[in-house]
Amino acid sequence: MAPLPRNTLQHFTHPKHSLTLFDSNTKYSCDGCKILGIGKRYHCPECDFDLHEYCGKCPMKLSSFFHPYHSLKLVNRKPQGERRLDRFCNVCCDSIEGLFYRCEVCDFDVHPLCTQLPETLRHALHQVHPLKLLGSTESGTCVICRGACNASSWRYRCIPCGFDIHIDCVTIQCEKRTTTDRGIPTYVPPSGFDGYAYGNPYYPSPLNMHHNYMPQPQHQNHGQVQTHHGGGRIGQVMFGLVKTLGTGVFSNMIFGTDLSSFFAT
C-alpha cells in the first residue's frame, strides 16, 4: 500500500477515512477525547470528524510523571448505552467521554491532553521557586481564587512555601500594582475575579511569610468530580496549555501575566 501523504494519518477511532491536518480559527469538539479545541486539528471532511493534533498522534502506551509506577494504555470509551460505570480523569476530575489513558492495576485514568501538562512552571505571584504539578498532597488554598485545594486534587504547588494554584487558575492574568509605602509589592486580583466585579468592597490581605495575594471570591468544584463533558473551562485550559507547549517558548513563560495570544478563548 502506498504511504499516506504528508500531514495525513489513519486513526483507529475513524477507520473509514484518512484524516488530514486542517487549520481553522474555529472551535470544535474533538471526536477522540470529546474536549473542545480551536485551530489545528485532524479532519475528515466527508464525516465532519475532528481530532486534536495531539489526540491524532498520541502513543498507544505512555510513561508519565503523573503515574510513574506503570505505563498507561490508550483506551477508547464504549458508547454510552454500553457503559457500566462513569469514569473521571484523576488529574482534572472532568468526566471521561472518549479517548483516555488508563492503568488497570491502579485504576488510574487521565485525558490524553492532561498528560501533556508541564510538570513544572513559573508564576508571577511566586517567582522565588518553580511550581510543581502534584497530586495526593496536603490540603491548601489556591492563591488566585481562594478556593480549596483538596488533599486528593492535583495543583501547582511550591512545597517549601505551601503555595498552591489550581490547574485551571494558572492562566488567569494577575496584574501587578505599585508597591506599598513600605516598598512591599502587592497584587490586585486577576481580571474578572476581583471584589469590585462582584459588588464587594476591596481590602488587601496582610502579607504572610511566603507569598502575598488579595482575597478572591471562591470558585466552586475545584478538584471535585465534574458531571459535565470536557467542554468547560477546565477542558479549554488543558487544550490551551498543550497548544502553548507547541510554540517552543513555554520554558521561558511566566504564568499570571498576559498570555492571551497563546490560549484559546
**What gap in Å lies between CA 116 and CA 254, rounded to an integer?**
18
**Could you tell me if residue 176 is inside a domain?**
yes
Per DSSP, the residues of 159-215 read TTTTEEEEGGGTTS---EEEE-TTS-EEEPPPTT-SGGGGT----PPPP-SS-----
Does residue 219 share a domain with residue 260? yes
Does residue 210 share a domain with residue 137? yes
Does residue 104 share a domain with residue 69? yes
Does residue 97 share a domain with residue 74? yes
Does residue 105 share a domain with residue 88? yes
Q: In CATH, what number is assigned to the domain containing residue 13?
A: 3.30.60
**Could you tell me if residue 236 is inside a domain?**
no
**Could you tell me if residue 247 is inside a domain?**
no
Would you state the pLDDT for residue 153?
85
Joined grid coordinates for residue 13: 477511532
Does residue 66 share a domain with residue 78? yes
Domain boundary among 19, 34, 57: 57
**Could you tell me if residue 242 is inside a domain?**
no
**Could you tell me if residue 235 is inside a domain?**
no
Does residue 127 share a domain with residue 73? no
Does residue 94 share a domain with residue 198? no
List of E strands, the chain: 8-11, 14-29, 36-44, 49-52, 61-62, 72-76, 99-103, 108-110, 120-123, 126-134, 140-141, 148-149, 155-158, 163-166, 176-179, 185-187
Cα first-last separation, the chain:
41
Does residue 20 share a domain with residue 39? yes
Does residue 175 share a domain with residue 137? yes
Domain boundary among 20, 38, 57: 57
**Could you tell me if residue 232 is inside a domain?**
no
Domain boundary among 74, 93, 115: 115
**Could you tell me if residue 233 is inside a domain?**
no
Domain span at residue 265 reads: 118-224+253-265
Residues 6+ away with beta carbon under 8 Å from 68: none
Which of helix, strand or coil describes residue 80?
Answer: helix
**What gap in Å lies between CA 209 and CA 205, rounded to an integer?**
13
Note the pTM of the prediction, 2 decimals.
Answer: 0.71
pLDDT in tens, the chain (265 residues): 556 677 899 999 999 999 999 998 889 999 999 999 988 999 999 999 999 999 999 999 999 999 999 999 999 988 776 778 889 999 988 899 999 999 999 999 999 999 988 899 889 888 899 999 998 778 899 999 999 998 888 999 999 999 999 988 887 877 654 343 344 444 444 444 333 333 333 333 333 333 444 434 334 455 554 434 445 556 666 676 666 554 444 455 676 665 554 444 3
Does residue 98 share a domain with residue 145? no
Number of structural domains the chain divides into: 3
**Could you tell me if residue 231 is inside a domain?**
no
Does residue 106 share a domain with residue 156? no
